[in-house]
Structures are given as structure tokens and as C-alpha cells.
């Protein structure tokens, strides 16, 4: 009987996960394309090496709900973020390379829900904070 109740609880939990997942998917689809913001010093893989990046866009204001829990964002209002809005075609980026900043323009490419950044040499930039996807 214990196993039955446990199994029933697990099934109810999993059914709830599906409902939450479906609701989140619906909200994302209805809200349209997302704006990506990379704060100053965010690390990206450039030439296979983790490199801090800096932008020239104004860092957006934090959501009031987030401010209430985490306090003000120290970068708010600074012109040092990389902002990729739904209509952005390219972004100006400063890469810390060999101890000095190097200015690059990255092209923004979109394919359905996937947004990628491509360097002038044709290579893609990857997030240094996430393990690469294995297909």
C-alpha cells in the first residue's frame, strides 16, 4: 500500500510538472522573441577560450520584483552591456584578449527560438558558463 501511495504522489507531481511546462511554453510563445542581455564581464568562449565581454549598450533596469528580492543591479544604467533585442542584427562587443580590449562586431542569427552570435571570421560564440550541447 505504501508503494501505491508513493507512486500515486509521484504521478501527481509529474502531471503537475507537465502542466507547468505547458503553461511556461504558452507564455513564452505569446510573449514573442526575448531580449538577451549580457552584463559586463560575462564570459563567452572566443577561439575556444573563456573571455570576458563588454558592450556599449545601456544596461536595462531590473524588474521591480527582482529588485525587491536581490536589491538594485549595480550595472543598471551603465553603457557596458551587450543587448540583443528581437530586432537587433549585429552587436558591438569588446573582448578582453591577452589583457587588452579588442573591438568586434558580431552578427545576430536567428532560427526559430534559437539565437546565435557569429564573429566576423565566421566562427560562432558560445557561452563559457554552459557545457556544450551534445546532439
**Coil vs helix vs strand at 135:** coil
Taking only the tens of pLDDT, the chain with its 135 residues reads: 444 444 445 555 555 566 656 765 665 566 667 889 999 999 999 888 899 999 999 988 877 877 777 777 777 778 899 999 999 999 999 998 777 889 999 999 999 888 999 999 999 999 998 766 554
Instruction: Give the dihedral sign, CA 86/123/120/46.
Output: positive
Mention every residue, 6+ apart, whose C-beta is less than 8 A from residue 79.
55, 56, 57, 58, 59
Measuring CA to CA, which residue among 41, 60, 67 is closest to residue 129? 41
Would the pTM of this model clear 0.85, i.e. be above it? Answer: no
Amino acid at each position: 500500500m505504501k508503494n501505491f501511495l508513493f507512486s500515486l504522489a509521484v504521478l501527481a507531481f509529474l502531471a503537475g510538472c507537465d502542466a507547468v511546462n505547458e503553461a511556461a511554453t504558452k507564455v513564452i510563445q505569446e510573449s514573442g522573441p526575448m531580449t538577451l542581455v549580457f552584463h559586463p564581464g560575462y564570459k563567452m568562449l572566443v577561439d575556444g577560450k573563456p573571455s570576458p565581454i563588454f558592450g556599449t549598450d545601456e544596461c536595462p533596469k531590473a524588474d521591480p520584483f527582482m529588485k525587491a528580492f536581490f536589491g538594485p543591479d549595480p550595472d543598471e544604467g551603465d553603457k557596458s552591456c551587450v543587448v540583443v533585442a528581437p530586432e537587433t542584427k549585429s552587436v558591438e562587443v569588446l573582448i578582453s584578449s591577452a589583457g587588452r580590449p579588442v573591438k568586434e562586431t558580431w552578427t545576430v542569427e536567428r532560427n526559430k527560438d534559437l539565437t546565435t552570435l557569429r564573429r566576423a571570421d565566421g566562427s560562432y560564440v558560445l557561452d563559457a558558463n554552459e557545457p556544450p550541447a551534445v546532439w
